[in-house]
A and B are shown apart, each in its own frame.
Chain A
């Protein structure tokens, strides 16, 4: 549904291709031994404490059996049917095991194998424009026009814009919950060649950058009366399966690394941009902090004020948005219409 057609699953050699958790759950339910162990493990994990759980022989046995079942390695797909159900199954196993205090959690989503170049190829067909000749134009305006020429994009975009700009009362500028839901629908159901162009268009003047900042209707979806502490925001996000998964996915795909040229894991810009877009419409919604054209700073609506002894951790979390070379390079590369040339 979402995303451009990608080459068939390019799993790293030697790895087994995981099935999705909904399917894995069905497979497990069909097998009496698996389903009873799964029930046992869920009961073990309901207690939430990993150490007491591992001390219990029955729990340990259940865990060992399940490690061999497809449930253990199962993943989910962004925007798949029953995505929430899939994630619930995933976290029902991983929540208690993943210690719960890890800074970066493993992503429950399948790795993205498609590349930015796939988007550029499609985008140029859609727009009929050569990116080189449009250097003078407002790319963000072009992106809006391109979206309006596509029925699906136009419908979902006007959907979220009208929801997010509907004033409820003098004290309540909008329904944030509905606005977030509409934004999630837009970014889940509209292909990246439209959504990425709106979100990551490159700008040379403030008017364009302001339009880019306004893409997600930040007055409703982003800004709030007060800025919470980032760790508080992360805590709130982690209580929600969907938000938790999207955040883990963002960390998996955008976490800066020294081990690649672009600072992105596997030099995959598309994966990073996709998981960035996947955060929009949650508590942790990121956005451009201003309409500056020279330095694009991105942040969720939070600060590290009041972190106490956790300030280091808080700033580390915030820096993954504000000073992330992988994210910055990915946005820049998208704006320039360049991608990493993959060596075969």
Chain B
């Protein structure tokens, strides 16, 4: 059986001075029990650990096996002190001792028991100060904070002694008395004769997990009286003594699969509460303690779904005081993408098990009503009609093609394709980005637009679902309109190269819809997303996104797509592409630099770093 005895502290601190006499008591350690019959036996590991992991045989300290009093068995002289300080860099030398605990007398004195506490002794390079030179604080308490932990559901017992054994031993002519200040009804009792503190009843963490008391010490020296108060804290340690329960009794939730069919989609969540705490560190072991398992014989269900468990700390207030508890969330998640044709409904049960709780109600059953609905791959009842100006240039974006509900789809890969018309007029194409749910119709061959015989062109658009091979078609009409403009001479290769409104609007270039570039007049001051620039189409460029058509040729919209240098005040776009914000007018030489500058005043250029600095 596991050892029920435990220490109410992880660490004890005390000072040791040079030449203190043998027999001098240093501190008293207590142990708390699991059952009334247990008797604590204390023992020391035979090695001292000097800081930095050097160890030395322990020749000076011993512990009384039953009382837990650590004392000096041999005076620590200056030579001992120097030896124990070697390799210690800090001005203060510290040695550590491990105290072990057993419910029966120790036979083999080995450092192997799991239950141990550490005693850190600060070796002070001086003889013990005279009692008269000590402050009340030093006479009453050590540097050790008075903070203890007591396990819940354990029998009462003594866990601390306020009096300092060394002071009591050395300063017998002083009267030092203690008091424990506590609110009414607190389950702790102070015994004035022994100065020991006792927990008087079994504690329940789910009722209260922290007690804050005050230890008060009074020192009397003749007529002088001094008082010191320090906080005295008791934390109640948790054990798994509460079963899981359902908030509002809810154990059922709907889980509908419709447009989101992608692996990883969270369909539904059910919550389970537990009054016990669950450490998130280490995470994996806590997950193992609280399991959620899908109960099914159907291999399709176990392949298609998984349950994800997350938990976090919440607070309960059982009787005014706040205690920590846990909220466990069980999420029903798609383990793989589901075909658009799939159609079924069933109840999926998840068994939640609090594995460390020893009681009959350690588990709860959660129910998910799962409905998998098929989705249709179809165009809504329209035929597409787009009008294209005859002066449009290559990479002009005409419109978007999208099946019904296409923007809602997740995990459904639709590809759009134009089925070639019989005619020889074939100016447009469709492009689709990698994750795009829609297709973008754009001018692929602008010379066709100029041919007089091409007026109205009929296409068939086909949308295909990759997984199910389901497809659907609709008609698309492209009407060419407008009269051909005369081409300007000396126009740049890209709208983005124009620095002024006039030269921008009289030229056309890649991507323009009506034969002319468009000027965007920025209004903002300083570095703004609304900077002035010349672009083929204000709607698509610059909008901060380098879309699939713009990405085809760096001359179309370098404002969104450039990966080159940008000179002048600016902010870069996502993934370091494009100009997200700029100062004044931004213009670009495709495949080279972009420049952002205020046109009227020649201001000093400021790059990204300079912007942050000033």
Contact = CB atoms under 8 A, between A and B. Distances in A.
Interface of A: 12, 14-16, 51, 54, 67, 72-73, 93-94, 97-99, 103, 106, 111, 144, 148, 158, 161-162, 165-170, 228-229, 231-232, 235, 252, 258-259, 265-266, 305-313
A255 B576 CA distance: 42
Interface stretch (B215-223, B272-280, B474-482, B517-525): B272-280
* Chain A CB within 10 A, most for which of B311, B575, B613: B613
A179 B574 CA distance: 17
A72 B87 contact: yes
A311 B612 contact: no
Given A12-B91, A235-B281, A307-B279, A169 B82 contact: no
B312 A306 contact: yes
B570 to A, nearest CB: 13
Given A161-B612, A162-B609, A252-B90, A306 B278 contact: yes
B92 A259 contact: yes
A311 B235 contact: yes
Contacts of B91: 12, 265-266
Interface residues of B, number: 45
B143 interface: yes
Contacts of B280: 228-229, 232, 305-308
A54 B111 CA distance: 10
Of all A-B residue pairs in the complex, the 10 with the closest CB atoms, nearest first, are: A308-B279, A97-B53, A306-B280, A158-B609, A232-B281, A308-B277, A229-B281, A106-B52, A306-B313, A305-B313
Contacts of B86: 15-16
Contacts of A54: 111
Contacts of A266: 90-91
A53 to B, nearest CB: 12
A170 B574 contact: yes
Contacts of A73: 52, 87
A144 B609 CA distance: 12
B283 interface: yes
B609 A169 contact: no
A169 B277 contact: no
Contacts of B147: 312
A4 B88 CA distance: 26
B149 interface: yes
A106 B86 CA distance: 14
Interface of B: 10-11, 49, 51-54, 82, 85-92, 111-112, 143, 147, 149, 235, 237-238, 277-283, 286, 311-313, 324, 572-576, 608-609, 612-613
A166 B576 contact: yes
Contacts of B88: 15
Given A15-B86, A306-B280, A307-B280, 10 more contacts: A67-B54, A73-B87, A94-B52, A165-B608, A168-B575, A232-B280, A232-B283, A266-B90, A307-B281, A308-B279
Nearest to B138: A258
A52 B49 CA distance: 17
Contacts of A111: 89-90
B77 to A, nearest CB: 16
A309 B279 CA distance: 7
Nearest to B89: A111
B565 to A, nearest CB: 13
B532 to A, nearest CB: 23
Most chain A Cβ neighbours within 10 Å, of B149, B283, B612: B612
A165 B612 contact: yes
A305 B312 contact: yes
A97 B86 CA distance: 17
Nearest to A253: B90
A97 B50 CA distance: 11
Contacts of A228: 280
18 contacts: A12-B89, A14-B85, A67-B54, A167-B572, A168-B574, A168-B576, A170-B574, A228-B280, A232-B280, A258-B143, A306-B279, A306-B312, A306-B313, A307-B281, A308-B238, A308-B279, A309-B237, A311-B324
A168 B86 CA distance: 52
A15 B49 CA distance: 18
A310 B279 contact: yes
Contacts of B277: 306-309
Contacts of B111: 51, 54
Nearest to B280: A306
A99 B10 CA distance: 14
Contacts of B574: 167-170
Contacts of A311: 235, 324
Contacts of B54: 67, 72
B15 to A, nearest CB: 10
A152 to B, nearest CB: 15
A170 B286 CA distance: 33
A330 to B, nearest CB: 17
A167 B313 contact: no
Contacts of A148: 613
Contact of B90 (A67, A235, A265, A307): A265
A98 B612 contact: no
A187 to B, nearest CB: 18
Contact of B575 (A167, A310, A313): A167
